[in-house]
Amino acid sequence: MKLSAVQKLLKAKILTGEELLDQIEVKMICGSDLISDVLTFTKAKSLLLTGLTIPQIIRTAEMIDLCGIVFVRGKTPGADVVSMAAERSLPLLVTDLPLYESCGLLYTAGIQGCSGLQNNNRG
């Protein structure tokens, strides 16, 4: 699924990377509010869904090579975080949906989680 389709599905506001949304293919998502879990369980090129708006989340995304970040629960990072992401060509989105619902919508739409287990329960 293209990142642009994710943005529409989550009714997310675009903070950075609008020009990349139709180019980036999202194959995996990870949802977490703990940087230690993001570092441990998230695979490269995944889309991170999180409520963490601190600068360290951009550095973490860069270390793992994430394809973008969706901030959940309407949390919006400060200008410093947005600027860091823009410098790194890292798309940032904001949705008002909570983490659980955001992940559920994307899972139902066919995007797998970082466990690598296929979604075989789609109706």
pLDDT, one tens digit per residue, over 5-16 is 999 999 999 999
pLDDT, one tens digit per residue, over 86-111 is 999 999 999 999 999 999 999 999 99
Q: Could you give the domains of the chain?
A: 3-112 (3.40.1390.20)
pLDDT, position 60: 96
Instruction: Reply yes or no on whether the pLDDT at 120 is more than 70.
Output: no
Three-point CA angle 83, 72, 60, nearest 5°? 50
pLDDT, position 117: 56
pLDDT, one tens digit per residue, over 38-74 is 999 999 999 999 999 999 999 999 999 999 999 999 9
pTM (predicted TM-score): 0.92
* Half-sphere CA count of 72, side-chain side, radius 13 A: 19
In the chain, the percentage of residues whose pLDDT exceeds 70 is 93
Three-point CA angle 108, 109, 110, nearest 5°? 90
